[in-house]
Amino acid sequence: MKIATFNINGIKARLPAVLDWLDEAQPDVVLCQEIKSVDENFPREPFEDRGYNVETHGQKGFNGVAILSKRPLEDVRRGLPGDDSDEQARWIEATVMGDTQAVRVCGLYLPNGNPTPGPKYDYKLAWMDRLEARARELMADEIPALMAGDYNVIPQAEDAARPEVWTEDALFLPQTRAAFRRILNLGFTEAFRARTQAPGHYSFWDYQAGAWQRNNGIRIDHLLLTPAAADLMTDCQIDSAIRGREKPSDHVPVWIDLAA
């Protein structure tokens, strides 16, 4: 089962690029972020024509998450538990039925948190506390599970081409990285780093100042696996070349293969 996370940065602007990648990469499941569309306006037909089931949790103009799956989806839930007043569309989860077993997949778009200090950063840290609570529940469940998406977290210095320019940014502040580590320390495996330890691997390049051409990137798109899911992983890669294509997202897909 090939599962990918992809911040597409607007489905209307990126539809051709996303479809080209789907046709080429043939993932079974895609967890999308920043669809920037309400549910009723999401262009379902091109995905359904390719055999994907489509579940969205949208919001007008920004945020928004979705699951595309060639396999049946069960028990779809929208919204991260823990704050009934939170209206931002940043979380969707479902159970995917594999050939040999089911996998719980959770797609997330973690708040950016800038500028700091301020209410946006307070919201980010509070959201990460709620994420940790959900992560604890997933660890206690019987089936393999993963949490994948745009975490807006640079975990370590080697995850940025120029870490010195991020020291005051919400993505790299010590409190942010500590909150991320608390989740990992529950027993999660960060899929990409379990396979590749070298620096120089990124999943986001800004549109400004030739960041892609100079490989001035950061790695902020992550897949966190419970032990039962980590035991099934056979590969994890970043499709970095997608960033150099026509009208790309500023993020690229990151994917894993699970023997499920």
Please, what is the average pLDDT of the chain?
97
251 is catalytic: yes
- Exposure string (b/e) for 148-181, b if CB count within 10 Å is 16 or more? bbbbbbbbeeebbbeeeebeebbbbbeebbebbe
201 is catalytic: no
Residues 168-172 have a mean pLDDT of 98
For residues 183 and 196, give the distance between their C-alpha atoms in angstroms, rounded to a whole number. 20
Give the structural domain span for 8: 2-258
Per-residue pLDDT tens digits for 104-150: 999 999 999 999 999 999 999 999 999 999 999 999 998 999 999 99
Q: Catalytic pick from 52, 57, 150, 151? A: 150
Residue 142: per-residue pLDDT: 85
Residues 193-217 have a mean pLDDT of 96
31 and 4 Cβ atoms separated by less than 8 Å = yes
User: Is 86 marked as a binding-site residue?
Assistant: no
CATH number for the domain that contains residue 32: 3.60.10.10
Sequence-separated (6 or more) residues with CB below 8 Å from residue 172: 154, 160, 163, 166
86 is catalytic: no
User: Is 7 marked as a binding-site residue?
Assistant: yes
Looking at the structure of the chain, the number of domains it has is: 1
Residue 60: per-residue pLDDT: 93
